[in-house]
């Protein structure tokens, strides 16, 4: 029987670690003022705690939170079945038209493709009629082969692959336990996904920005893989553990992303790059879909292999236990997570921003950046992003380029009259 962790013990530890939101957020006042939580639309299932790679920047294994060590390596059937049942109740209670479930790890393919297929089948059977179910899997790609991809296609499981640009750059960080790079295996896996019969489950590529690399070479390599979407992710860092900044520039991440943006924006057949598209949409008054920008409410929770209901797992880079809610899917409902101060803080938009951010002219686009990147010991998460200057420069550059194009088109329309 999986032990239950005291919710009050977890809450006390969170209050000690982060004043915002655990001591300072007034949930009762929010509700009195008319705020209501956003139901959960994204559920991440940590079906396998271990990984077959040893990436040197992994926030699960190399950073502050090491709770994976005390959890089952493999998620027991009773845990995922409890999660599926609870999600079904949540969907019915809130009359949701769609949900997304991401199978994650560690490396989720270590769970076994037949077990993943069973989980997917029972998940779809549990959801009410009319609810669209999207099932995805984020993998390092090493275990993908024709048989595995065929099974994932049969069960309509979308596949996202993590790859960090050209071979030399990828293999510098994404290595196996023996220290050997994984690029060759990942390339072969992506080539399989690119086949016409498999493209229906090819979800896209995830790439971590590395400012010491050539941004154009990285982008061209990713583009050569013909993904339906590229997602660039800033390395998880915070004010206690700031990101690497190579000598010679104070905003290396903006510099890197600006060069990629210009190449992408000038293309006549550009593919989807989520970060850039979200920033443009937000600049034009729309809403974003990325955790990295904007003020849209986060509607995501994680179920760990022991059943723990947790916040987004990138919080593991902040401090030990930063993800914890004290809830467990074996005896708590998903709705209970909507009372957790950490989850609430990511749903209240401007009310979660620092005074510094509120004075910034691009705060509605930036949204203080990724929530994880705001952490400062003691004060917690009501701070600017540790990438504040990088975000300001990137957003300003994109704003200027989009504005220039709008002016050009307006001029062309006037001249054509």
Here the tokens at position 401 are 């380029």
pTM: 0.94
CA dist 21 and 380 (Å) reads 7
Residue 5: the pLDDT is: 55
Residue 285: the pLDDT is: 93
CA dist 70 and 404 (Å) reads 54
Residue 339: the pLDDT is: 93
* Ordered DSSP codes for 158-182: EEEEE--SSHHHHHHHSB-TTS-B-
- Name the residue among 340, 343, 324, 309 with its Cα closest to residue 80: 309
Residue 199: the pLDDT is: 97
Residue 413: the pLDDT is: 80
**Per-block mean pLDDT, blocks of 10 residues, the chain (417 long):** 63 87 94 95 96 83 78 96 98 97 96 97 96 97 97 98 96 91 96 98 97 97 98 96 90 98 93 96 89 94 97 92 94 95 95 96 96 95 97 98 91 79
Instruction: Please report, for residues 52, 205, 218, 231, the alpha-carbon distance to residue 208 in angstroms, rounded to integers and kept in the order given.
Output: 19, 10, 10, 8
Residue 135: the pLDDT is: 98
Set out the domains of the chain in order of their start, with CATH numbers: 7-403 (3.20.20.70)
């Amino acid at each position: 029987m999986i032990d239950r962790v005291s919710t009050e013990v977890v809450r006390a530890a969170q209050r000690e670690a982060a004043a915002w939101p655990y001591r300072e957020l007034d949930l009762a006042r929010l509700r009195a003022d008319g705020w209501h939580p956003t139901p959960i639309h994204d559920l991440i299932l940590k079906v396998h705690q271990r990984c077959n790679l040893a990436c040197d920047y992994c926030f699960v294994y190399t950073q502050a939170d090491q709770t994976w060590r005390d959890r089952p390596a493999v998620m027991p059937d009773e845990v995922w079945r409890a999660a599926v049942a609870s999600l079904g109740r949540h969907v019915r209670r809130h009359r949701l038209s769609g949900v997304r479930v991401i199978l994650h790890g560690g490396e989720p393919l270590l769970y076994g493709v037949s077990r993943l297929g069973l989980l997917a089948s029972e998940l779809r059977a549990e959801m009410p009629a009319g609810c669209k179910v999207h099932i995805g899997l984020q993998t390092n790609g090493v275990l993908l082969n024709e048989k595995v991809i065929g099974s994932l296609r049969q069960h309509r499981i979308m596949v996202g692959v993590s790859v960090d640009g050209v071979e030399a750059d990828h293999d510098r960080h994404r290595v196996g336990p023996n220290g050997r790079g994984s690029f060759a295996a990942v390339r072969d896996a992506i080539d399989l996904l690119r086949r016409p019969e498999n493209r229906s489950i090819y979800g896209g590529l995830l790439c971590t920005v590395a400012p010491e690399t050539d941004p154009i070479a990285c982008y061209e390599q990713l583009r050569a893989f013909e993904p339906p979407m590229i997602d660039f992710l800033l390395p998880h860092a915070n004010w206690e553990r700031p990101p690497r900044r190579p000598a010679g520039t104070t905003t290396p991440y903006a510099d890197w992303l600006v060069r990629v943006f210009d190449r992408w924006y000038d293309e006549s057949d550009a593919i989807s790059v989520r970060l850039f598209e979200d920033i443009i949409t937000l600049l034009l008054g729309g809403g974003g879909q990325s955790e990295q920008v904007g003020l849209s409410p986060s509607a995501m929770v994680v179920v760990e292999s022991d059943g723990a209901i947790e916040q987004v797992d990138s919080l593991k880079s902040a401090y030990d236990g930063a993800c914890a809610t004290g809830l467990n899917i074996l005896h708590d409902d998903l709705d209970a997570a909507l009372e957790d101060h950490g989850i609430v803080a990511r749903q209240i938009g401007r009310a979660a921003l620092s005074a510094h951010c509120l004075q910034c002219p691009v705060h509605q686009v930036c949204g203080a950046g990724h929530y994880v990147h705001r952490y400062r010991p003691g004060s917690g998460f009501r701070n600017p992003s540790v990438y504040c200057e990088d975000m300001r420069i990137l957003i300003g550059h994109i704003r200027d380029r989009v504005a220039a194009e709008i002016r050009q088109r307006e001029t062309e329309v006037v001249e054509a009259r």
